[in-house]
A = this chain, B = another copy of it.
Amino acid sequence: MELKIALVGCGTVGLGLLEILDQKRDFLKETYGFEARIVAISDKLKGSILVPDGIEIKRLFELFSQGGRIDQYFGKGKTWELLNPLDMIEQCAADIIAELTYTDIKTGEPATGYIKKALRSGMNVVTSNKGPAALHYHELSSLAKKNNLFFRIEGTVMSGTPVFSLCESGLAGNEIREVQGILNGTTNFILSKMELEGMEYAEALALAQKLGYAEAEPTADVEGYDAVAKIVILSNVLLGAELKPDDVKREGITALNRGMVTAAKEQGFRYKLIAQAKRSGGRVEARVSPQKLPLTDPLSGVMGAQNALTFDTDLLGKVTIQGAGAGKIETGFSILSDILAVHRGLQARG
């Protein structure tokens, strides 16, 4: 089955997705009978295009490698005005909108508006954008359900490492009582460097910035805001809560120093920035805070920029999944993963 896909936003994640679709075209067709036709792209910086017959991805990459814009796809003279994402959604007749614009964790906009427009226009939506998922999951999910559409968000937590799809399939039948994870790779990288190489916090942060793991303005990571957004998503999707980011107790890693990390190590513990959410008397309580884990905890062995999440279930006990938490191809894959899930779902409907 061929699915028509339109990209709202074409930054790192979008480019990762396009690269995968280009390189694995034959594999995806042979293995899953899946074919992708990219019918439209709108990106604030790179321009926009609408091609009902489908874009040739290689040609687009050639254009980019020459410093060109998306709207020069049909030749240099044919540049046109930026197609607003809302207009693009209206005109593209896609089966799936991949919403890949920037995250605004305060408002969820403009992404939430794009997602609503797509769902109201009869299109399935896949996204790795934490804003809409953290602030409006239940509303968007209900809207999708009402219109018999899929709204999928695998990439919002741990990039393409399976979290939501794992709960839908392999863990189905269990009740999840608690989740606990290392959901921010930047802070885990910093803490690993502080422990393993005896760096001070500032030194480890500077290294993370140099290597591209941390932003120049690192507040969202080191003060725990990024992990808060993710634990809100997990709470609302997996534990049925209705939390907002402000409901989460939050403490970052900026108050930790080398001495504390070393002292913990000597006692057989390891500091990790832990995001956790737990059912407790009919409510769900969530927090993000540095915790001293015993070395026997599966999360204590997660080093560097890796992420991991432990599900506490009623039948299987604790199940932990560990993998990449970020990256161009890894997050691009999260979108493919959701697209393949929509593909399976649509095939099932016949």
Show the binding face of A for B, using Cβ within 8 Å.
Answer: 20, 24, 27-28, 32, 154, 159-163, 165-166, 168-175, 295-296, 298, 300-303, 306, 315-324, 329-330, 332-333, 336-337, 340-341, 347-350
Residues of B within 8 A of A317 (CB): 323-324, 330
Residues of B within 8 A of A337 (CB): 170, 172-173
CB distance from A15 to the nearest CB of B (A): 14
Instruction: Tell me whether B162 and A166 are in contact (CB under 8 A).
Output: yes
Our pick among B24, B168, B301 for the contact of A173 (Cβ within 8 Å) is: B24
**Nearest 6 interchain pairs by C-beta:** A162-B170, A301-B301, A348-B348, A319-B323, A165-B170, A169-B169
When all copies of this chain in the complex are counted, the total is 2
Listed residue (A154, A161, A296, A315) with the most chain B CB atoms within 10 angstroms of its CB: A315
Q: Which residue of B lies closest to A302 (CB)?
A: B298
Q: Which residue of B lies closest to A311 (CB)?
A: B323
Bound CA–CA A32/B32 (angstroms): 25
CB distance from A254 to the nearest CB of B (A): 25
Residues of B within 8 A of A318 (CB): 323
Residues of B within 8 A of A349 (CB): 348
Q: Which residue of B lies closest to A34 (CB)?
A: B173
Residues of B within 8 A of A170 (CB): 154, 161-163, 165-166, 169-170, 337
Residues of B within 8 A of A175 (CB): 27
Instruction: Tell me whether A329 and B315 are in contact (CB under 8 A).
Output: yes
What's the dominant secondary structure at chain A's contact region?
Answer: mixed
Instruction: Tell me whether B323 and A322 are in contact (CB under 8 A).
Output: no
Bound CA–CA A349/B170 (angstroms): 20
Bound CA–CA A226/B42 (angstroms): 54
Residues of B within 8 A of A332 (CB): 315
Residues of B within 8 A of A298 (CB): 301-302, 306, 322
Our pick among B28, B296, B316 for the contact of A160 (Cβ within 8 Å) is: B316
Instruction: Tell me whether A322 and B322 are in contact (CB under 8 A).
Output: yes
Bound CA–CA A20/B322 (angstroms): 28
Our pick among B154, B159, B303, B315 for the contact of A333 (Cβ within 8 Å) is: B315
Q: Which residue of B lies closest to A347 (CB)?
A: B348
Q: Which residue of B lies closest to A336 (CB)?
A: B173
Answer whether A340 and B172 are a contact pair too, CB < 8 Å, given A298-B301, A333-B315.
yes
CB distance from A133 to the nearest CB of B (A): 17
CB distance from A27 to the nearest CB of B (A): 7
Instruction: Tell me whether B173 and A28 are in contact (CB under 8 A).
Output: yes
Our pick among B169, B295, B319, B333 for the contact of A174 (Cβ within 8 Å) is: B333
Instruction: Tell me whether A173 and B340 are in contact (CB under 8 A).
Output: yes
Q: Which residue of B lies closest to A350 (CB)?
A: B350
Answer whether A321 and B324 are a contact pair too, CB < 8 Å, given A302-B298, A340-B172, A340-B173.
no
Bound CA–CA A348/B343 (angstroms): 12
Answer whether A162 and B171 are a contact pair too, CB < 8 Å, given A323-B320, A330-B315.
yes
Q: Which residue of B lies closest to A196 (CB)?
A: B296
Bound CA–CA A321/B154 (angstroms): 17
Our pick among B161, B301, B323 for the contact of A300 (Cβ within 8 Å) is: B301
